[in-house]
Amino acid sequence: MITDAIIANSPALLVMIPLIAAFACPFIGRISPAVRNIWVVGAMVLTAAMALLLAGEVFSSGTVVYTFGASAPGMSVPPDSGGIPVRIVFTVDAMSALMQIIGAITGLSIVLYSIAGDRRHTGLESYYTLYLLMIAGVMGMVSTGDLFNFFVFLEILSISSAGLIAYRIDRGVAVEAAVKYFVLSTIGAMVILVAIGIFYGEYDALNIAVIASRMQFTLLDQVALVLMIAALGMKCGAVPMHFWTPDAYSMAPSSITAMLVVASQASLYGLFRVVFTLYNVTLNAATVGWIIIVLGVLSMVVGVTMAIPQKDVKRLMAYHAISQTGYMLLGVGVGLAVLGNQSLLDAFGYVAMEGGIFHIINHAMYKGLLFLTAGAIFYRIGTRNLNRMGGLGHNMKYTMVFFVIGALAIAGIPPFNGFASKLMIYESVFMFNPILSIIAMVVSILTLASFVKVFHSIFMGPRLPEYADVKEAPAPMLIGMGILAAVVVLFGLFPGVVVDHLIEPAAQALVNQGAYISAVMGGA
Amino acid sequence: MKMSKIVRTGANILYPFVLIFGLYIVLHGHLTPGGGFQAGAVIATGVVLVIVANSYEAVTGMLQKVVFKAQESIGLLLFIGVAAIAITLGLPFFYNFLANSGSIFGLSVPFGPNHGDLNTAGLIPIMNIAVGIEVWGGLTVIILSMLSGLDRKEA
């Protein structure tokens, strides 16, 4: 009976547990650091368990709707409201569930890593408070079915991320990166708020399902679409608006950088949700699809070419993160460009979208892993400058293995997960437009070249005298990295299972706008 | 640096009134314009008034940052805790189980124009109080942190 209650309330618990844990963290932290660590890890384990429970529920029995403050969770439309969902509704479909799984796995491994990796710093109560708020922000953003609520969780995420980017002050450089991130996030959030205001003025509703069912694609809606794509594209680091990414990613503590990758992908989720669920076939699919494809191609090419000359290992990885975001935009953009044309959609559109969505989860895993390895190296030798590293393979064997797994995955080498999703993107995009596919492959080769260079300068070569007594990273950090590495390898070995059970339902959920609307509005 | 005696005395006399006004806005949040956030901001301006009129050192002797930090967390925990009670009762998160229940804040609201009764609206006033506590603490911590960076030379 209690398990039924937990499953029924899992969408709320998913946000509630990290919030309570975060707010209690300053008190718990006064008892002792050990108790605080247990508290934070426990909260994260519970949150991850909720996310997996909820995802299991969604994948087995369809979209879950949770209405806050109603007399029953499923009562999204009150009987006396005239058929309008007036309350905040969480609508968790397969796409949301996929994002929650990403947040759960990455969040858990990061917190394990953080326990050891950040213990030498002061102010850890605030650090874990903000970290748990980030988790709550990501989980809320991907679950919510209400546009204004989406804005609120986006702000929770942005503010806590900005605080964490500035956490390691580093003679003011980190603070500068945080201010840059914060100003841009705030502008982006305000732009989104204007778009939400347009929808509210036009359709008298904030619920995504209601707006989607009334969508007419007037001039105002086009303005709102442009605002939404620009702001969310900025938040996910697509190229013309990418300039905050390298600063923020390189200056944040490594564990937070790995979480920022997930945060960017939550924004990417928001972009896809707006385009597919809110507008769907009402918009001019070919035009908007091509806009997203162009954003994707620009991100891929500019990201990787900027990455090659970098000297700072985390800055280099940040540019690669931009480049990989381009693949997701490309894959899903191709799916969008053929939306409404069922034969093309069946021929390659679905596969392209599945490739793009599969790349989201793969990217979160291997990029998180790479940032964590960079953090482990920084933890042991205290520099991020590639020119001052060398010969670390002698002392940090496990870190090296994890780095190799991550690097081969990002370059799209079998049998790692990056290969599976990139192959799906190459094949399907080739049928849409061969040139795009060729660009994607060239970018992948450049990525490999860049990571071979990085691998060589960090780990290869003779043992350097100044790093002669460097030790392997502590066990909790290795466990954190190990979880992500295991997922990278497993997804690469069994991509078919993952695509059939997780990715395909997610792609269907994005395309099938009617199912989303009827899940909230019911038969009414 | 100290202000003149007139300013200090004026600020000290005004301070309790600012506090009372803020608390009034908290409690009537569900009836009149305002609410927890606005009330917390009003009370925090009272703290600023005292700090500006007197010296920073004199005030921080009485008002300590750690107290306000605790207050911030308590407010937030109260808010989320009240919302979570509904789950333990088998109802959805944030369900207003106190409204129309007859207990505290539990009277039902009469239909049509009326004067407004303080003892209504269930969880909403409690959440207003929680937000008020939180914003009071949070804004005061922000103010104290900003003022701690002042260059305190004798004028």
Q: Is A131 on the interface with B (CB under 8 A)?
A: no
At residue A203, the pLDDT reads 87
Other residues' Cβ atoms within 10 Å of the Cβ of residue B4: 9
E-assigned strand segments in chain B: none
**Which residues of chain A are within 8 Å of residue B91 when distances are taken between CB atoms?**
71
Q: Please, what is the angle between helix A124-143 and helix A254-272, to 10°? A: 20
Instruction: State the Cα torsion B27-B32-B37-B41 to the nearest 10°.
Output: -90
B71 CA to chain A: closest CA distance, Å? 11
The span from the CA of A202 to the CA of B114, in Å, is 32
> Least CA distance to A73: which residue of chain B?
B92
Q: Which residue has the tokens 């939404």?
A: A228
Q: What are the DSSP calls for A241-257, one per residue?
A: G-THHHHHHHHS-HHHH
At residue B150, the pLDDT reads 66
Q: Which of A78-82, B22-26, B41-45, B85-89 has the lowest mean pLDDT?
A: A78-82
* pLDDT > 70 in chain B, percent: 94
**Using an 8 Å Cβ cutoff, are A485 and A376 in contact?**
no
Please tell me whether residue A67 adopts helix, strand or coil conformation: strand
Q: State phi, psi for A283 to the nearest 5 degrees.
A: -85, 165
**Using an 8 Å Cβ cutoff, are A116 and A109 in contact?**
no
Q: Which residue has the tokens 């909260």?
A: A43
**Which residues of chain B are within 8 Å of residue A68 when distances are taken between CB atoms?**
92-94
Q: Do A69 and B90 touch (CB under 8 A)?
A: no
Q: Which residue has the tokens 């564990």?
A: A255
Residue (of A399, A394, A239, A242) closest to A313 by Cα position: A399
ipTM: 0.82
Q: Do B95 and A13 touch (CB under 8 A)?
A: no
Bridge partners, residue A67, by sequence: A89
**Which residues of chain B are within 8 Å of residue A66 when distances are taken between CB atoms?**
92-93
Residue (of A146, A135, A95) closest to A14 by Cα position: A135
Q: Up-side HSE of residue A171: CA atoms within 13 Å toward CB?
A: 0
> Least CA distance to B96: which residue of chain A?
A69
Q: Which residue has the tokens 């502008």?
A: A187
Other residues' Cβ atoms within 10 Å of the Cβ of residue A279: 24
Q: Do A20 and B77 touch (CB under 8 A)?
A: yes
Per-residue tens of pLDDT for chain A, all 524 residues: 677 777 778 888 888 899 999 888 888 888 888 888 889 999 999 999 889 888 888 888 888 888 887 777 777 777 777 777 878 888 888 889 999 999 998 999 898 888 887 777 777 888 888 999 999 999 999 988 888 999 999 999 999 999 888 888 777 788 888 899 999 999 999 999 999 999 999 888 888 888 888 888 888 888 999 999 999 989 888 888 888 888 888 888 888 898 999 999 999 999 988 888 888 777 777 888 888 899 999 999 999 998 888 888 888 999 999 999 999 999 888 888 888 788 888 888 888 888 889 999 899 989 999 999 988 888 888 888 888 887 888 888 888 899 999 999 998 888 888 888 888 898 888 888 889 889 999 999 999 999 888 888 888 888 888 887 888 888 888 888 898 999 899 888 888 888 888 888 888 888 888 888 888 877 54
Q: Do B93 and A69 touch (CB under 8 A)?
A: yes
User: Please, which residues 54-83 of chain A have a Cβ atom closer than 8 Å to chain B?
Assistant: 66-73
Most A CBs within 10 Å, among B68, B78, B93, to test the A interface: B93
At residue B155, the pLDDT reads 46
At a CB cut-off of 8 Å and minimum separation 6, what does A502 contact? A59, A94, A98, A101, A361
> Least CA distance to A72: which residue of chain B?
B92
Closest residue to B92, CB basis, from A19, A23, A69: A69
Own/partner contacts of A503-506, CB < 8 Å, gap of 24 or more, are A503/A98, A503/A354, A503/A357, A503/A358, A503/A361, A504/A350, A504/A354, A505/A59, A505/A94, A506/A94, A506/A95, A506/A97, A506/A98, A506/A354, A506/A357
Query: Which of A437-441, B7-11, B69-73 ranks highest by mean pLDDT?
Result: A437-441
Q: Is A20 on the interface with B (CB under 8 A)?
A: yes
Please tell me whether residue B86 adopts helix, strand or coil conformation: helix
Please tell me whether residue A296 adopts helix, strand or coil conformation: helix
Q: Is A39 on the interface with B (CB under 8 A)?
A: no
Residue (of A66, A79, A85) closest to A204 by Cα position: A85
A137 CA to chain B: closest CA distance, Å? 15
What stretch of H or E contains A91?
A: strand A89-92
The span from the CA of B106 to the CA of B97, in Å, is 9
Q: Is A438 on the interface with B (CB under 8 A)?
A: no
Q: Is A19 on the interface with B (CB under 8 A)?
A: yes
**Which residues of chain B are within 8 Å of residue A67 when distances are taken between CB atoms?**
92
Closest residue to A23, CB basis, from B73, B93, B94: B73
At residue A524, the pLDDT reads 44
Closest residue to B84, CB basis, from A16, A24, A67: A16
How far are the Cα atoms of A159, A468, B48, B124, B140 from residue B38, in angstroms, in the given order?
20, 59, 15, 15, 14
**Which residues of chain A are within 8 Å of residue B94 when distances are taken between CB atoms?**
12, 68-69
Q: What is the CA radius of gyration of chain A?
A: 22
> Least CA distance to A4: which residue of chain B?
B90
The span from the CA of A472 to the CA of A400, in Å, is 10
pLDDT digits (tens, 9 = 90+) for B28-47: 888 888 888 888 889 888 88
Q: What is the largest CA-CA distance in chain B?
A: 63
> Least CA distance to B123: which residue of chain A?
A69
Most B CBs within 10 Å, among A2, A9, A126, to test the B interface: A9
**Using an 8 Å Cβ cutoff, are B34 and B124 in contact?**
no
pTM of the full predicted structure?
A: 0.89
**Which residues of chain B are within 8 Å of residue A43 when distances are taken between CB atoms?**
none
Closest residue to A69, CB basis, from B69, B76, B95: B95
**Which residues of chain A are within 8 Å of residue B87 when distances are taken between CB atoms?**
5, 9, 12-13, 16
The span from the CA of A194 to the CA of A377, in Å, is 43
Q: Is A26 on the interface with B (CB under 8 A)?
A: yes
At residue B2, the pLDDT reads 67
Most B CBs within 10 Å, among A2, A17, A23, to test the B interface: A23
Q: Enter the DSSP assignment of B30.
A: T
B72 CA to chain A: closest CA distance, Å? 9
> Least CA distance to A25: which residue of chain B?
B73
At a CB cut-off of 8 Å and minimum separation 6, what does A388 contact? none
Other residues' Cβ atoms within 10 Å of the Cβ of residue A130: 19
At residue A189, the pLDDT reads 92
